Every structure is written in structure tokens, then in C-alpha cells.
């Protein structure tokens, strides 16, 4: 008897599997606790301030609130549901609440990936191992923001589509309309989910048309679901995205994003892959394995092939969208190992019961609570991280020594200033869809001391200028006769406009 055969009965033990799942999720949680990505995220602060505004006014804003340069421009708070959750997390638990919410979102993505792979493959150890690989490829690429909800809901949607296609029963798809209603009020990338359904329906209709014309190739997997039901379902899902305070406006924001160019040229997470890090190679290997899994099946699934092709183009163009290829690729790998794919329906691991899942959740929470002490996950640590990253001392100086506005600030700090220094409406912040390419380019060029900074109208009218000390503009303004230096440290520099003497 080989070692693997001797080990197999041990690996089938229920307690062993549950312990492994707890270990996997706890490991993900500990990494999230150590990184403290939530408070390092430059955009988290404007999300928090917008959430506070929504709670205070019991309404969703439709203009560029909290900005002096774009206050009257139309703007869609398309992540309002997340922003309210963030606002309440901070109101109840302070900075620790922000960290807890970010850790929860990270764990939710990891568990959603595991749940997807477990359901599609029917095999516990494959799901665990593949989840670890998938999470290492994209989960810690970006900060825990609203798009983490998109990852979770995308994984659920894809799982339901593949299960329905495999079984030929569409009842499981009845969960999709409420999923899209929730999704559209949490993050704008619900459009990725609509693309998923649209592609599924389009491939199915195209195959049926080819069958009618007698030109369908025999090597393709035939459609299994009624075309009429799929079309109705796609319409209902689209209508569900209109239910909410924003109505159709998120689609307008999608259109505006599609026209944006400047942000994609200067924001690192929107850049193409550079293949300097492990996670990028893991993404490439997952993609290759996904295509291999699709081609290995006896009949080619055109939906999977089309999905992987489109997802590859999107994900390899933008680092932040790595999940958009990793999740479908992993799903294709897991679906290849489905019991139905092997003909005789061999025995496979029983999925966790609700009681077992609850026990896993409790165990993970308790372990993370114990291990958090070793990761310095506490209020004092968050204060230190924020003080080392953001202009806390400069803002405290302005509170003690007020300088008349308006404020001019660099782009990266706009969100933090919006939250920590609300008496000065910001000149710009991370809401690229609000400011557009022209304003983003103007501020970017000015803070880098391009010759056009002398004609920047927002700098020319500013009463107080707060900049990152490392920026070229912070250095050149020290000799600009229009401003005088009033505060400087390693993090921030503050200038006040010189008063012109009257005759």
C-alpha cells in the first residue's frame, strides 16, 4: 500500500477537513491583520466621509459633495451601501472598526472562492489547495474596498451559472435577481456580473441559431437551458440593478469611466502587469491552467472559452482586475474535476452543514482575536500607522493656527483631508469619475511642478496649500513669492498666501 493510500482515510476524517478550513481562513485573516491595508488605503477616507454624509442626511448624494472644485458636478455614490457599513463600523469601533471591516471583506472573498471551488469540484482538498493559490494571486493586490463585494458576488453568480448549465435545471438561477439588486447598491462592478450573464445567454442563443442552421460543430458542448428563460432572467437581473436610490445613474458612471484615460496612465493599480512579483506569475499560471482545463474536456464549452478569453484581456491590462481572470480560471479547473464529468459519479466529500460552517466561523474569529495581539492590530497601532502615512501633524497645526482658505492639496491626500479636516473643502480627491481627466491632469502636472503650475487657477486662488513634502511643488513653492512656508516636517508642508499690503 502506498503512502498516499495510507493517508487517504485520514484525510477523509471530518474533523481533519474542518481544521484545515479553519487554518486556511485564519491564515488569510492573519495576513490581513498584519498588512493593515484598510487604513493605508488612500480612498478609504472619502468613502468613510461620504458614508457619514449619507447617514446624517438620510439620502444619497448626486453631486460632488465635500469638494470645492467640483461641488456642483454630477456624481454617483455607486458604493453607498458599502459606505454606510464603513461609516457605522467607524462610529461603533473607531479605527479598529475600519480594520475589522477590511479583514471581514478579505475573509469573505477567500470563503467565496472556497465555496465556489467546493461546489463545482465536490472535493474538499482540491478546493482548499486551489483557494490558497487563487488568493495568493490576487487577494492582497489591493486594499479591501467595495470591489471586494464584487469578487464575492461574481464568484457566486459564476457558480450558479455553471451549476445550472451542468445540470440543465435553471431553478438555481432564480437567486440571481436579488443578488444583482444587492450588488448594484454595493459596487459599480455589478456590470461585470451583467456581462457574465449576457455572455452566457449570448453563447446559448448563438449555439441554438447554429443548430437551427445546421452549422453547429460537433466538438462543442450543446446548450442545456431553455433560451426563453435565460433571456427573461437576464432582463430581470438588469431591472434589479435599477432598484435603489441611484436608479440608472451607475450606468452613466460606467460610461464616464469607459472614456477615462489619464487615471490609467498614472495610478499604479490600474497599470498592466509587470511580472516582477510572485502573484503575477500565479495569475499567469492559473490562466494557463484554466484554458487547459477547458480544452481537456471531451467537448469544448464555448461559454468558458469566451469568458476566459475576455477576462484575460481585461485582467492582464489592469493589475486591480486580477481577480476577474483568477476566479473564472479556478472555476474551470474545479468544474473539470466535477463528479459528473467522470461518468460514474464516484463518491465525493460531503459539503459542510450549516452547523459545521458556523463552527468554522466561530473558530476563525476566536483564533484571529487571539492572534491579533501578535500582529499589533489595535487602536494605538492604527494611530501610529496613520500618523506615519498622512499629514496628521500638519492638520493639527492648522487647527491651532487657522489659515484662511480655500485649500489646495495634492491628489493622494484628498480623501484623508476630507475626513480629518472637514472645515476645508478639498481641491481634489480620489473620485476620478467626479473630476475627470482634465482636472486630474491639471493637478497631477501642478504637483509635479510642471511649468503650467504658475497658471493653475486653483493654486492661484488658494489661501492655504497642504502638500506631500516629497512633491516637486512643495519644494518650488518655498521660493514662490505668492506663498510663505508656515509648517514643514518629513511628511507634509504647509504654505499660506502672503498678504498683499494695502497703500
Instruction: Name, of 5-19, 49-63, 260-274, 448-462, the range with top average pLDDT.
Output: 49-63
The percent of residues in the chain predicted with pLDDT above 90, rounded, is 73
C-alpha span between 246 and 370 (Å, rounded): 41
| Alpha helices (H) along 78-226 | 80-93, 95-121, 124-138, 147-167, 176-184, 190-213
Does residue 11 surpass a pLDDT of 70? no
Phi-psi region of 94 (alpha: psi -120 to 50; beta: other; left: phi over 0): left
Question: In this predicted model, which residue has the larger pLDDT, 336 or 201?
Answer: 201
pLDDT for residue 10: 59
Q: How far is CA 283 from CA 274, 302, 324, in A?
A: 12, 22, 10
What local confidence, expressed as pLDDT, does residue 82 receive?
97
Give the closest residue to 176 by CA, choosing from 235, 105, 108.
Answer: 235
Mean pLDDT to the nearest integer, 319-336: 94
Average pLDDT (131-147) is 92
Q: DSSP letter at 477?
A: G
Which of the 8 DSSP states describes residue 68?
S
pLDDT, position 5: 59
Q: Provide the pLDDT for residue 346.
A: 46
Residue 297 exposure: Cα atoms within 13 Å on the Cβ side? 25
Q: Is the pLDDT of residue 2 over 90?
A: no
What pLDDT is recorded for position 91? 96
Least-confidence region, from 82-86, 176-180, 216-220, 237-241:
216-220
Distance of CA 67 to the CA centre of its chain: 24
174: confidence class by pLDDT, cuts 50, 70, 90: very high
Residue pair 15/352 in contact (Cβ under 8 Å)? The answer is no
> Quick one: the chain helix, strand, coil %, rounded to 5?
65, 5, 30
The pLDDT assigned to 224 comes to: 87
**3-class DSSP state for residue 484?**
strand
pLDDT given for residue 69 in this prediction: 94
Which residue has better confidence, 218 or 182?
A: 182
- Per domain, the residue ranges of the chain are 76-352, 390-497
Residue-level pLDDT at 340? 52
Q: pLDDT class for 266, splitting at 50, 70, 90?
A: confident
> What's the pLDDT at 348?
66
Go through the chain and tell me how many residues it has.
503
Residue 297 has pLDDT above 90, yes or no: no
Residue 430: pLDDT band (50, 70, 90) is: very high
pLDDT tens string 140-162: 988 899 999 999 999 999 999 99
> Would you say residue 287 has pLDDT above 80?
yes
Residue 205: which residues within 8 A CB-CB, separation 6 or more? 227, 230, 231
* pLDDT tens digits, 369-412: 999 888 888 888 899 999 999 999 999 999 999 999 899 999 99
Q: Is the pLDDT of residue 14 over 90?
A: no
Contact (CB, 8 A) for 122 and 348: yes
Which backbone phi and psi does 180 adopt, to 5 degrees? Answer: -70, -30
Task: Please tell me the least confidently modeled range out of 122-131, 137-146, 241-250.
Answer: 137-146
Among 72-86, 111-125, 279-293, 375-389, which is the least confidently predicted range? Answer: 375-389
- What is the rounded distance in angstroms from the CA atom of residue 469 to the CA atom of residue 467? 6
* Mean pLDDT value of segment 459-468: 96
**Residue whose C-alpha cell is 483564533:** 367
pLDDT at 499 over 90: no
* Whether residue 30 has pLDDT greater than 50: yes
| pLDDT score of 171 more than 80 | yes
Please tell me the distance from the alpha carbon of residue 390 to that of residue 243, in angstroms, as a whole number: 38
The angle at the Cα of 324, spanning 320 to 329, to the nearest 5 degrees, equals 135
Longest dimension (CA), the chain: 102
β 407-409/492-497 pair status: unpaired
pLDDT of residue 503: 47
In 3D space, the residue among 50, 60, 244, 81 whose CA is nearest the CA of residue 148 turns out to be: 81
Distances (CA, A) of 389 to 76, 392, 489: 28, 9, 12
Q: How confident is the model at residue 361 (pLDDT cuts 50, 70, 90)?
A: very high
Pairwise CA distance, residues 431 & 443, whole Å: 13
Selected residue with higher pLDDT from 290 and 353: 290
Q: What is the pLDDT of residue 84?
A: 97
Written in H, E and C, the secondary structure of 276-331 is: CCHHHHHHHHHHHHHHHHHHHCCCECHHHHHHHHHHHHHHCCCHHHHHHHHHHHHH
DSSP 8-state secondary structure symbol assigned to residue 69: S
- pLDDT greater than 80 at residue 92: yes
Three-state SS annotation for 153-170? HHHHHHHHHHHHHHHCCC
Query: For residue 335, what are the CA distances in angstroms to 115, 122, 157, 354, 370?
Result: 13, 9, 15, 23, 37
- Who contacts 204 (Cβ-Cβ below 8 Å, separation ≥6)? 223, 225, 227, 230, 303
Amino acid at each position: 500500500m502506498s503512502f498516499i493510500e495510507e493517508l487517504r482515510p485520514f484525510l477523509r476524517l471530518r474533523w481533519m477537513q474542518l481544521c484545515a478550513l479553519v487554518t486556511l481562513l485564519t491564515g488569510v485573516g492573519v495576513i490581513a491583520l498584519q498588512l493593515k491595508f484598510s487604513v493605508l488605503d488612500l480612498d478609504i477616507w472619502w468613502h468613510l466621509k461620504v458614508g457619514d454624509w449619507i447617514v446624517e442626511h438620510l439620502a444619497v448624494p448626486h453631486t460632488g459633495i465635500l469638494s470645492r472644485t467640483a461641488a456642483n458636478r454630477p456624481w454617483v455614490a455607486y458604493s453607498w451601501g458599502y459606505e454606510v457599513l464603513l461609516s457605522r463600523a467607524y462610529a461603533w469601533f473607531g479605527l479598529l472598526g475600519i480594520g475589522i471591516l477590511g479583514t471581514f471583506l478579505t475573509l469573505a472573498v477567500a470563503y467565496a472562492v472556497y465555496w465556489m471551488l467546493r461546489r463545482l469540484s465536490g472535493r474538499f482538498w482540491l478546493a482548499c489547495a486551489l483557494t490558497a493559490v487563487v488568493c495568493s494571486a490576487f487577494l492582497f493586490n489591493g486594499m479591501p474596498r467595495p470591489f471586494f463585494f464584487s469578487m464575492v458576488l461574481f464568484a457566486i453568480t459564476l457558480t450558479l451559472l455553471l451549476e445550472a448549465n451542468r445540470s440543465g435545471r435553471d431553478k438555481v438561477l432564480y437567486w440571481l435577481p436579488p443578488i444583482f439588486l444587492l450588488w448594484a447598491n454595493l459596487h459599480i462592478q455589478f456590470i461585470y456580473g451583467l456581462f457574465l450573464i449576457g455572455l452566457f445567454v449570448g453563447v446559448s442563443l448563438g449555439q441554438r441559431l447554429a443548430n437551427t442552421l445546421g452549422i453547429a460543430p460537433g466538438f462543442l458542448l450543446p446548450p442545456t437551458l431553455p433560451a426563453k428563460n435565460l433571456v427573461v432572467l437576464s432582463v430581470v437581473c438588469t431591472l434589479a440593478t435599477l432598484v435603489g436610490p441611484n436608479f440608472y445613474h451607475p450606468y452613466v458612471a460606467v460610461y464616464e469611466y469607459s472614456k477615462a484615460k489619464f487615471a490609467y496612465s498614472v495610478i499604479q493599480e490600474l497599470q498592466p502587469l509587470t511580472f516582477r512579483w510572485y502573484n503575477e506569475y500565479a495569475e499567469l499560471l492559473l490562466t494557463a491552467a484554466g484554458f487547459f482545463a477547458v480544452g481537456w474536456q471531451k467537448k469544448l464549452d464555448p461559454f468558458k472559452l469566451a469568458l476566459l478569453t475576455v477576462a484575460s484581456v481585461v485582467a492582464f491590462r489592469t493589475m486591480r482586475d486580477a481577480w476577474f481572470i483568477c476566479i473564472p480560471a479556478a472555476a474551470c479547473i474545479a468544474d473539470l474535476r466535477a463528479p459528473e464529468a467522470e461518468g460514474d459519479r464516484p463518491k465525493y466529500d460531503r459539503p459542510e452543514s450549516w452547523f459545521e460552517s458556523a463552527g468554522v466561523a466561530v473558530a476563525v474569529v476566536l483564533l484571529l482575536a487571539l492572534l491579533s495581539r501578535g500582529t499589533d492590530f489595535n487602536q494605538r497601532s492604527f494611530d501610529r500607522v496613520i500618523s506615519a502615512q498622512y499629514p496628521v501633524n500638519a492638520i493639527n497645526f492648522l487647527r491651532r493656527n487657522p489659515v484662511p482658505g480655500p485649500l489646495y492639496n495634492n491628489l493622494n491626500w484628498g480623501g484623508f483631508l476630507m475626513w480629518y479636516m472637514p472645515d476645508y473643502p478639498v481641491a481634489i480627491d480620489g473620485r476620478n469619475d467626479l473630476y475627470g481627466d482634465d482636472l486630474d491632469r491639471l493637478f497631477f502636472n501642478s504637483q509635479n511642478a510642471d511649468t503650467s503650475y504658475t497658471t493653475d487657477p486653483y493654486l492661484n486662488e488658494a489661501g492655504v496649500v497642504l502638500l506631500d513634502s516629497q512633491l516637486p511643488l512643495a519644494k518650488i513653492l518655498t521660493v514662490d513669492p505668492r506663498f510663505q512656508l508656515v509648517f514643514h516636517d518629513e511628511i507634509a508642508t504647509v504654505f499660506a498666501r502672503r498678504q498683499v499690503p494695502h497703500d
